[in-house]
Amino acid sequence: MKRGEATFGTWLTLPDPVAARLLAASGFDWITVELEHTPTTFETAALSYAMIAAGGCVPLARVPINSFENIKRVLDTGAWGVIVPMVNSRAEAEAVVMASRFPPVGRRSVGGQLNAANFGTDQATYRREANEQILVIVMIEHVDAVANAEEIITTPGIDAIFIGPNDLLNSMGQMPAFESNDPQFTDAINRVRDLCKKHQVPVGIHVISPESARRRAEEGFQFIALGSDAGFMLGRAHEITQALGLAKNTGATAKY
C-alpha cells in the first residue's frame, strides 16, 4: 500500500484455525480474522493468526468494538494489524491509535509472547519495530463518520481507512448491500475516497466479486476485501445444489 498498489484480502468468519490455514495458501495478500460478527474467541483468533502467518499470508484482526482491551488482546496474541469498526469521530480514531501504538505515540502496554513469535522475532525487536510495522485501520461505515471523514483520515497514527458499505447503507436507513447506485451512498463513498487521496491515506472497501474488486482498484482503492470463507463455501454449495435441483432456502447467505 505504501507503494500505491492495491492489495486484496478476505475475511475469515468461521471460528476455525484449519480454515485459516487452508485459506492462507489461496493467494490473498492478507486475511482478516473476524471477531466483530462471529463466535470467534480471542483464543481461536490467536490460533488463526498463527496459521495464517505460517501459511505465508498477513494475519489481521477486526475487533468487536473500539476498545482498548480488544485492540490490546488481538495485537498481543499475534495479529499483524487491527481493523476497528464504527469509528465515527476524531476522538474515536485517536482512541484507536492510543490502544494500538506503544509510547511515545500511544499507550499500548507490553506483554504476551505470541506477538513476537508471529513475526518470527524476539520481544525487544517486536517492541522496537511494532509502531512502524503494525497496520492500524479504522472503518468509516456510518453517516456520522462520513461527515467527520477529514478529521478521522488525518488522525496521526492511522495507516488506512476501510469503508463498510453494508453498515453505511444501514445508517442511511436503507437495506445493507455491498453495491448501490443510491446517490447518497455513492456521494459518501466518493467523498471518503477523494479525501483519502488528498491526504495520501490508503482507502479500502469490502466487495463480493472479483469484477467489483478490479473496478475498485481502478478507482484507487488499495485495501480491498473480497467476500469471506463462509461466503465462498455457501456460494459454491448453492451453485451445486441449484444445479442438482436440491436448493433450499436455509436462511444462510451465499454472499458474505
Strand, coil or helix: 197: helix
Q: How far apart are the first and last CA of the chain?
A: 24
Number of Cβ within 10 Å of residue 44's Cβ equals 18
What is the rounded distance in angstroms from the CA atom of residue 55 to the CA atom of residue 57?
6
Nearer to Mg ion, 70 or 115 (CB): 70
- Which residue has its beta carbon closest to Mg ion? 164
Check residue 34 for interaction with Mg ion (CB under 5 A).
no
Cell of 114: 505470541
* Contact between residue 59 and residue 48 where contact means Cβ atoms under 8 Å apart: yes
Reply yes or no on whether 142 is catalytic: no
- Which residue has its beta carbon closest to ligand 3PY? 164
What residue type is 227 in one-letter code? G
Question: Among Mg ion, ligand 3PY, none, what does residue 229 contact (CB within 5–8 Å per kind)?
Answer: none
Catalytic residue among 37, 142, 206, 238: 37
Nearer to ligand 3PY, 118 or 228 (CB): 228
Binding site for ligand 3PY (CB under 6 A): 141, 164-167, 206
How far CA 120 is from CA of 18, 42, 54, 76, 101, in Å, comes to: 21, 20, 10, 14, 20
What is the rounded distance in angstroms from the CA atom of residue 49 to the CA atom of residue 52?
5
Q: How far is the CB of 80 from Mg ion (least distance, A)?
A: 21
Check residue 159 for interaction with Mg ion (CB under 5 A).
no
Check residue 164 for interaction with Mg ion (CB under 5 A).
yes
Nearer to Mg ion, 164 or 202 (CB): 164
How many residues are listed for the chain in this entry?
Answer: 256
Q: Could you say which of 34, 94, 167, 229 contacts Mg ion (CB under 5 A)?
A: 167
Q: How far is the CB of 30 from ligand 3PY (least distance, A)?
A: 13
List interacting residues with Mg ion (CB under 5 A).
Answer: 141, 164, 167
Active site residues: 37
